[in-house]
């Protein structure tokens, strides 16, 4: 690992590569993409084949016209997709063995290999070279580290699977401590107290657990920064954690496909447009809900070009006071898999219900709900789990929840579902917490309206 490269990237991103206007930013992105495309067409047999017939578009850098790919396409063409000749079987075998032994330190041909499970069960394999890993580390530090890189920082990082990708940011002053979310949750307690992290990074379900420990006085931490990753940060969890620590939570939108967004000093989540370009495939333009198609012009080993993610994002309507030209998000709304569906009243057509609507309905039902989950079991079957703050009655809350959800379905002119309740499952675990979750087997991609 080359520390000089990390520091260089840190300095460039933090101090030198600044864009005042959208035009400046787009000129930079287009220049980068043009150069990147040349490299990719030369080195990835998959893209070479895919772009046959698009030579003229590439010549004039009309990259927005190039075909869209996704995880399924990437995995189906793994061997020719990557530019370093790593075969899928070999990579899988390697990654599985690391997952099993929980030893993520070895590499294949100087390439780190990561697995992403994906909520719908389709595994993805991701390849990152040492150089890319250094660039990533520099970018993360530049965007997230409070104060200077020369200061002392102790970082507690909760991860589902450790990965070489993340182990590169250690140096004398900055200490990374990894916590494996597969370990028993209580084992983290004493370790946290011992290291006294100045920065806490983890999924909101884990951060919430830490905040609960703090409230119960079994833990006394004084972090300077708390960063939420990997799960949707719900207002209900954000409020609780911020209150306990008296800090504003920062957010990172990072997936195996790239370091996509991070919060500015005003707490707004901005796409890291100095690293990736995001195109919007709108599902609801008026509400600003879209699926991102990303182009990462920094990834050479496994090129991510016009790659459709399975996420739902909501753009921010008002400009952020920080003045950044980077695309501002209202929130990350979840996975496309967590869209709910209903039948229209008259024609039995299928219509989509966004997770954001469900969330608002629950929050409207009562101020006293401390935890919840809403699961669509079938078209007309909705399960709700919740807990209320002590001293409040569940029965009243149940009635309000039913009322709000039925009202939502009515507003959307959909056939009313049956709503039933079950006990809230409190255990944070290695599986991602999704407060709005759809179990419908059928997928209606491309048919939703």
For residues 168 and 104, the answer to whether their CB atoms sit within 8 Å is: no
Choice between 198 and 268, CB closer to Zn ion:
268
- Per CB under 5 A, the segment of 72-80, 172-180, 261-269, 412-420 that binds Zn ion is 261-269
**Structure-token pair, residue 279:** 């195109």
CB atoms within 10 A of CB 167: 17
CB of 274 to Zn ion, least distance (A): 14
Considering only residues 348-387, where is the footprint of Zn ion by CB under 5 A?
A: none
CB of 207 to Zn ion, least distance (A): 22
Contact letters for Zn ion, residues 95-134 (x by CB under 5 A): ----------------------------------------
Q: Beta-strand (E) ranges in 79-181?
A: 111-116, 124-129, 153-159, 174-180
Considering only residues 311-350, where is the footprint of Zn ion by CB under 5 A?
A: 320, 322, 324
For position 291 contacting Zn ion by CB under 5 A, the verdict is: no
- Per CB under 5 A, the segment of 147-155, 262-270, 353-361, 380-388 that binds Zn ion is 262-270
CB of 263 to Zn ion, least distance (A): 8
Please, which contacts does 248-252 make with residues 24 or more away whose CB atoms are closer than 8 Å? 249/207, 250/144, 250/225, 250/226, 251/227, 251/332, 252/140, 252/144, 252/201, 252/227, 252/228
Helix (H) or strand (E) holding 98: helix 88-101
Which DSSP state fits 273? T
Choice between 53 and 323, CB closer to Zn ion:
323
Task: Please name the residue that has the structure tokens 């809403």.
Answer: 374
For position 268 contacting Zn ion by CB under 5 A, the verdict is: yes
CA distance 407 to 360: 12
For position 261 contacting Zn ion by CB under 5 A, the verdict is: no
Task: Please name the residue that has the structure tokens 């009562």.
Answer: 366
Choice between 303 and 325, CB closer to Zn ion:
325
Choice between 18 and 173, CB closer to Zn ion:
18
CB of 96 to Zn ion, least distance (A): 41
CB of 248 to Zn ion, least distance (A): 13
Give the one residue of 264, 291, 363, 412 binding Zn ion; rule: CB under 5 A.
Answer: 264
Please, which contacts does 171-177 make with residues 24 or more away whose CB atoms are closer than 8 Å? 171/3, 174/141, 174/145, 174/149
Count of residues touching Zn ion (by CB under 5 A): 6
Contact letters for Zn ion, residues 2-41 (x by CB under 5 A): ----------------------------------------
Which residues are bridge partners to 249 per DSSP? Answer: 226
Taking only Cα atoms into account, the Rg of the chain, rounded to an integer number of angstroms, comes to 22
CB of 321 to Zn ion, least distance (A): 7
Choice between 34 and 322, CB closer to Zn ion:
322
For residues 324 and 331, the answer to whether their CB atoms sit within 8 Å is: no
Choice between 264 and 406, CB closer to Zn ion:
264
Where do contacts with Zn ion occur on this chain (CB under 5 A)?
264, 266, 268, 320, 322, 324
């Amino acid at each position: 690992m080359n520390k000089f490269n990390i520091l260089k990237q840190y300095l460039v991103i933090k101090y030198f590569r600044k864009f005042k206007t959208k035009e400046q930013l787009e000129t930079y992105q287009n220049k980068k993409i043009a150069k990147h495309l040349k490299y990719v067409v030369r080195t990835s047999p998959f893209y070479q084949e895919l772009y046959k017939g698009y030579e003229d578009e590439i010549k004039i850098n009309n990259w927005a016209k190039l075909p869209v790919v996704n995880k399924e396409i990437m995995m189906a063409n793994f061997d020719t997709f990557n530019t370093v000749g790593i075969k899928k079987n070999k990579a899988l075998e390697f990654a599985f063995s690391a997952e099993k032994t929980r030893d993520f330190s070895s590499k294949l041909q100087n390439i780190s290999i990561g697995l992403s499970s994906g909520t719908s069960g389709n595994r993805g394999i991701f390849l990152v070279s040492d150089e890319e890993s250094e660039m990533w580390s520099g970018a993360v530090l530049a965007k997230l580290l409070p104060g200077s890189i020369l200061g002392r920082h102790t970082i507690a990082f909760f991860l589902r699977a450790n990965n070489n990708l993340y182990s590169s940011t250690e140096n004398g002053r900055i200490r990374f401590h990894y916590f494996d979310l597969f370990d028993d949750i209580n084992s983290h307690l004493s370790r946290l107290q011992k290291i006294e992290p100045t920065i806490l990074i983890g999924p909101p379900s884990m951060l919430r657990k830490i905040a609960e420990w703090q409230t119960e006085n079994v833990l006394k931490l004084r972090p300077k920064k708390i960063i939420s990753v990997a799960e949707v940060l719900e207002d209900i969890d954000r409020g609780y954690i911020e209150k306990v620590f008296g800090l504003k939570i920062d957010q990172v939108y990072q997936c195996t496909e790239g370091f996509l967004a991070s919060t500015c000093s005003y707490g707004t989540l901005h796409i890291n447009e100095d690293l990736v370009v995001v195109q919007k495939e709108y599902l609801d333009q008026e509400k600003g809900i879209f699926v991102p198609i990303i182009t990462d012009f920094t990834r050479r080993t496994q090129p991510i070009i016009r790659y459709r993610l399975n996420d739902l994002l909501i753009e921010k309507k008002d400009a952020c006071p920080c003045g950044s030209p980077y695309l501002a998000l209202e929130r990350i709304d979840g996975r496309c898999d967590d869209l709910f569906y209903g039948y229209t009243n008259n024609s039995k057509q299928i219509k989509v219900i966004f997770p954001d609507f469900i969330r608002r309905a629950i929050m409207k039902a009562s101020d006293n709900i401390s935890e919840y989950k809403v699961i669509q079991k079938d078209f007309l079957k909705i399960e709700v789990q919740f807990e209320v703050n002590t001293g409040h009655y569940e029965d009243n809350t149940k009635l309000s929840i039913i009322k709000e959800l039925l009202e939502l379905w009515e507003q959307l002119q959909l056939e009313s579902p049956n709503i039933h309740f079950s006990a809230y499952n409190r255990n944070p675990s290695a599986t991602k917490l999704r407060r709005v979750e759809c179990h419908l087997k059928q997928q209606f991609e491309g048919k939703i309206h």
